[in-house]
Amino acid sequence: MPQLLEAFRQVTEASAFAGGPFVARFEAEFAAFCDTRYALGVGSGTDALWLSLLALGVGPGDEVITAPNSFMATAEAISLCGARPVFVDIDEQTYTMNPALLEAAITLRTQAIIPVHIFGQMADMDPILAIGRRYGTPVVEDACQAHGAKYKGRGAGGLGVAGCFSFYPGKNLGAFGEAGAVITDEPELRSKIQMLRDHGQAAKFVHSAIGWNARMDGIQAAVLSLKLARLEASNEARRAHARLYNELLEGIPGVVRPNEAAHNVHVYHIYAIRVQNRDEVLQRMSAGGVNCGIHYPVPIHLQKAYGFLGIKPGSFPITERCAKEFLSLPMYAELRPEQIDKVVQTLKESLQG
């Protein structure tokens, strides 16, 4: 708390509220953490995805491939560019894009591929990147739930041409409000995003493109610098909680535990199990004093907003089945073992009815 108050004082004294030196410092720190050349602070994870696609030239008439098992923002960013989201079903073990289904979704209109590192586990990137290379299609990682996650030793966001992060307060690295970032090694992409996030300005009051106001606030950057220093420790705490959950849930009939692929370091933004009769189990858990979540009850392709795509139920069977069964158990770094125990006891009772 004293550190936070001191950070607020510094930002206030410098009047560095929008953009400015605290944002530049956080960008340098986050780029170093992700082992990329550049990080660009923006207003949210949605901005990060949208501006990355815009900077890559995605526009009306284009298609962008992603997974339907994600938060709405992944597809929204595609639509905001005027492009059409095209979905590929997920793998039943990791709940991320199934690379075996990707190639069939590529058309002459495909301009980008967005794998989503859902729940804190990275998608199977090597085959996705290989397909991207073969078709000359850039891969943009939605790493909004995967700060610090790893795939074969490589950090989330650093494998594609751009990696997009959300610092929404509930994330593994959360701000005190809305914030996001794009990481990239590409100088051209960096300068385009820098311009687009700031009204298309190439220099003060010189506008080379129509952009938007998607700058990061100085206060958010100062908070994020402080919290970044603790990210690895809090991810480790989440991983320890996941191990305890896994142990306690072992052998409970009807419970599918999350699966960590051998080549992944999962950071458990969400610890999602799968159960039958999920909605009743959720209600009983709540009555027993344990609040759980559902991520996400309706897959993106079945949301009313995407009704115009005309995608019928049954089109992505793994995503649709999982959406009926997912139950997110409490997960945050400060959880205590006795709380995890209580969650598991309540779950056992809730499963019995």
Q: Which residues bind ligand PLP (CB under 6 A)?
A: 44-46, 70-71, 73-74, 116, 142, 144-145, 166, 168, 180
Query: CB of residue 46 vs ligand PLP: minimum separation in angstroms?
Result: 3
Distance CA 39, CA 234 (A): 22
Are 231 and 333 spatial neighbours (Cβ–Cβ below 8 Å)?
A: no
Q: What is the DSSP string of 241-306?
A: HHHHHHHHHTT-TT-BPP---TTEE---SSEEEE-TTHHHHHHHHHHTT---B-S-SS-GGGSGGG
Query: CB of residue 227 vs ligand PLP: minimum separation in angstroms?
Result: 15
62/142 with CB nearer ligand PLP? 142
Q: Give the pairing type, strands 150-151 and 264-265.
A: antiparallel
Query: CB of residue 82 vs ligand PLP: minimum separation in angstroms?
Result: 19
Sheet arrangement for strand 150-151: 154-155, 150-151, 264-265
Place of tokens 């072992």: 250
95/168 with CB nearer ligand PLP? 168
90/144 with CB nearer ligand PLP? 144
For Cα atoms 220, 225, 231, give the angle at the middle one, nearest 5 degrees.
110
58/144 with CB nearer ligand PLP? 144
Q: Of 327, 298, 324, which Cα lies nearest the Cα of 311?
A: 298
44/235 with CB nearer ligand PLP? 44
End-to-end CA distance of the chain: 43
Query: CB of residue 209 vs ligand PLP: minimum separation in angstroms?
Result: 22
Output the residue with the shortest Cβ distance to ligand PLP.
45
| Torsion region of 80: left, alpha or beta (phi above 0 gives left; psi -120 to 50 gives alpha) | alpha
Distance CA 275, CA 279 (A): 9
145/328 with CB nearer ligand PLP? 145
Query: CB of residue 74 vs ligand PLP: minimum separation in angstroms?
Result: 5
Query: CB of residue 266 vs ligand PLP: minimum separation in angstroms?
Result: 15
132/180 with CB nearer ligand PLP? 180
Query: CB of residue 53 vs ligand PLP: minimum separation in angstroms?
Result: 12
